[in-house]
Amino acid sequence: MRRTDRLFELIQLLRDGRLHRASELAERLEVSVRTIWRDMATLMASGLPVEGERGVGYILRAPITLPPMILTSEEMEALRLGVRLVAEGADPGLARAARGLAAKIAAVMPVTSAEDPDDLFVFTGDEATRAAPHLPILRAAIRERQRVSITYIDVNGGESHRDIRPLQLEFWGRIWTLAAFCEARGDFRSFRLDRIVSIHETGETFPRETGRELADYKARIATELMPEIRNNDRAGS
């Protein structure tokens, strides 16, 4: 853990207003007691209302207000990766939003070096490119609970036309899929977006019905996965 991250964590621990011994803090942060002594001296020198001494403990005597968002270095790396994935992804609307977000983040982040390496890369394939035109329509349909009609090519090359209730978009690193309730089949189906030939908005909303909702789909998936998970556990034991 970097020192700046550690100092932030110390502030978070002290915000409960209780007395904390250096040994306790050292154990929580997995550092030496001597390191805690130095860090606490730094916090007190910075003007924070922290009181204490070696052998007694440390306490925050007055409440402090932290900025709305303070990220650790690892949290920032996670945010960078997430933004890059979306910015280089297939959905043009979300990609523009991600690039705008990246610019706002860069504007408020301190510069750590003169030449910060751009070490995150996202590679998109043909499947994601073919899925791109469908993403904005499906996102809106999911949000507004609108039924859509699709023309779909199955794995054997057969073409079918389906009226569906779109429930959730899922990204598998290279392939986008849509979890939906298929009106013709009367059951849940998963469709690959790169195999959707066309989507037509019906203008019809679908009601909330038990057995046809996203929660029901997730419960079905969890039930179907349990035997496989048990088998894997047995195989690994």
Domain positions in the chain: 3-60, 73-108, 128-230
For the domain 3-60, what is the CATH code? 1.10.10.10
Position 120 pLDDT exceeds 50: no
Model pLDDT, residue 115: 42
Model pLDDT, residue 236: 44
What are 134-148's pLDDT values in tens digits?
Answer: 888 998 899 899 999
CB of 179 closer than 8 Å to CB of 167 = yes
Lowest mean pLDDT among 55-59, 115-119, 193-197: 115-119
Res. 90 pLDDT band, cuts 50 70 90? low
How many contiguous H segments (helices) and E segments (strands) does the chain have?
Answer: 8, 7
Model pLDDT, residue 70: 62
Res. 69 pLDDT band, cuts 50 70 90? low
Average pLDDT in the 98-114 region?
A: 65
Q: Is 183 helix (H, G, I), strand (E, B) or coil?
A: coil
Q: Give the CATH number of domain 128-230; options: 2.30.40.10, 2.30.30.520, 1.10.540.10, 2.40.30.170.
A: 2.30.30.520
Instruction: Give percent of the chain with pLDDT exceeding 90.
Output: 32
Model pLDDT, residue 174: 74
Domains 3-60 and 128-230 share a fold: no
Position 77 pLDDT exceeds 50: yes
Q: Is the dihedral of CA 26, 30, 35, 38 positive or negative?
A: negative
Give long-range contacts, CB 8 A cutoff, 24+ apart: 78-82. 79/105, 80/105, 80/120, 81/120
Burial classification of residue 52, based on how many CB atoms lie within 10 Å of its CB (0-12 exposed, 13-18 middle, 19 or more buried): buried
Residue carrying the six token digits 């706002």: 104
